[in-house]
């Protein structure tokens, strides 16, 4: 483990400029667990030098990357409060390869993108655990983290000075009103691997709702997979709770039983299902229903 850290530390800082490096914590080690296909995901240790030259290498053997064994730190602290562990002692892989080069008022945080959940943790493993236990309904003991949790959170970067409510200003709708959730990551982030839109208030006056009341919060939204933009916001309800979706033997959409008869058509739900999200490869991380070609039960409509 430590060896990987050292290698990543030693190799990285020479490529990018030391002064104006956009240094974003690169999810290099999160290159899933399988190296099969995923032609572009040759993002290995350090930074990936902006896809200039690693196309020549057919497929980098991709370092050991045992995905997360850092659970034993987090088992005891049950509450997932905001300040879980700010120190970087816990993880080695998800953090920035360049140690502490940040502008000393910037901080990366991880924001849960679930429907009404606005939890913001400071570590990726923390938010993965939050998503896994709270939303995905996984048991907290069996960690078994596929990449699935990555779809439900995004990495933001905020100024610490305006952290008073700077984070909550990122959520345009107040948590009380049940307004439709905004399209959180703007849709022009469809580039395959991580891009960073820098909506500072300077030149590109992004009319987006975020960064509205806090003009000094330049926020980066990392899009790890291409589908992260739409997947979390279009999930109406957690997979476990979705049992009440139309939980009746009635045909496609005639809710009977009482006076109200809501006949919602089944207009081919819009939420991307496991097949589309994960792709035909990586089929083994679909939900079981999708694998059996049944109605998806992870991304319900």
Which residues contact DNA by CB under 7 A? 267-269, 272-276, 280, 288, 290-296, 301
Would you call 177 exposed, middle or buried from its count of C-beta atoms within 10 A (0-12, 13-18, 19+)?
Answer: exposed
Nearer to DNA, 105 or 288 (CB): 288
CA angle 205, 208, 210 (to 5 degrees): 110
Nearest to DNA of 179, 267 (CB atom): 267
| Gap between the Cα atoms of 42 and 59, Å rounded | 7
Q: Please, what is the minimum distance in Å from the beta carbon of residue 292 to DNA? A: 4
Calculate the CA dihedral of residues 174, 178, 179, 181 and round it to 10 degrees.
80
Residue 226 Cβ, how far from DNA at the closest point, in Å? 12
CA 270 to chain centre: 20
Say if residues 197 and 187 touch (Cβ distance below 8 Å). Answer: no
Return d(Cα 233, Cα 228) in angstroms, integer. Answer: 9
Least spacing, CB of residue 253 vs DNA, in Å: 11
Provide the token pair at 7: 């290698």
Query: Toward DNA, which CB reaches closer, 101 or 272?
Result: 272
**CB of 204 or CB of 263, closer to DNA:** 263
CB 273 to DNA: min, Å: 3
For the bound state, the minimum distance from the C-beta of residue 230 to DNA, rounded and expressed in Å, comes to 11
Token reading at 42: 């040759």
Buried b (16+ CB within 10 A) or exposed e, 279-289: beebeebbbee
**Least separation, in Å, of the C-beta of 189 and DNA?**
20
Q: Which is nearer to DNA, 75 or 241 (CB)?
A: 241
Q: Which is nearer to DNA, 141 or 270 (CB)?
A: 270
**Burial class of 206 by CB neighbour count within 10 A (0 to 12, 13 to 18, 19+):** middle
């Amino acid at each position: 483990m430590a060896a990987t850290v050292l290698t990543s530390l030693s190799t990285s800082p020479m490529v990018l400029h030391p002064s104006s490096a956009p240094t974003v914590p690169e999810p290099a080690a999160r290159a899933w667990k399988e190296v099969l296909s995923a032609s572009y995901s040759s993002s290995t240790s350090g930074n990936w030098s902006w896809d200039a030259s690693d196309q020549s290498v057919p497929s980098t053997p991709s370092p050991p990357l045992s995905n997360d064994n850092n659970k034993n730190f987090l088992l005891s602290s049950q509450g997932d409060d905001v300040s879980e562990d700010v120190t970087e002692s816990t993880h080695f892989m998800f953090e920035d390869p360049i140690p502490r080069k940040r502008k000393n008022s910037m901080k990366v945080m991880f924001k849960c993108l679930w429907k009404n959940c606005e939890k913001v943790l400071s570590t990726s493993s923390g938010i993965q655990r939050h998503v896994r236990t709270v939303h995905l309904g996984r048991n907290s003991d069996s960690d078994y983290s596929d990449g699935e949790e990555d779809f439900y959170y995004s990495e933001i970067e905020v100024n610490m000075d305006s952290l008073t409510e700077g984070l909550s200003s990122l959520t345009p709708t107040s948590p009380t009103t049940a307004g439709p959730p905004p399209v959180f990551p703007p849709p022009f982030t469809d580039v395959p691997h991580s891009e960073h839109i820098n909506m500072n208030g300077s030149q590109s006056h992004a009319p987006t709702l975020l960064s509205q009341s806090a003009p000094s919060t330049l926020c980066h939204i990392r899009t790890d997979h291409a589908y992260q933009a739409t997947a979390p916001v279009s999930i109406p309800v957690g997979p476990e709770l979705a049992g009440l979706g139309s939980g009746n033997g009635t045909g496609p959409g005639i809710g009977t039983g009482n006076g109200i008869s809501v006949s919602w058509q089944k207009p081919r739900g819009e939420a991307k299902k496991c097949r589309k999200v994960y792709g035909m490869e990586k089929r083994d991380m679909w939900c079981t229903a999708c694998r059996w070609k049944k109605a998806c039960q992870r991304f319900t409509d």
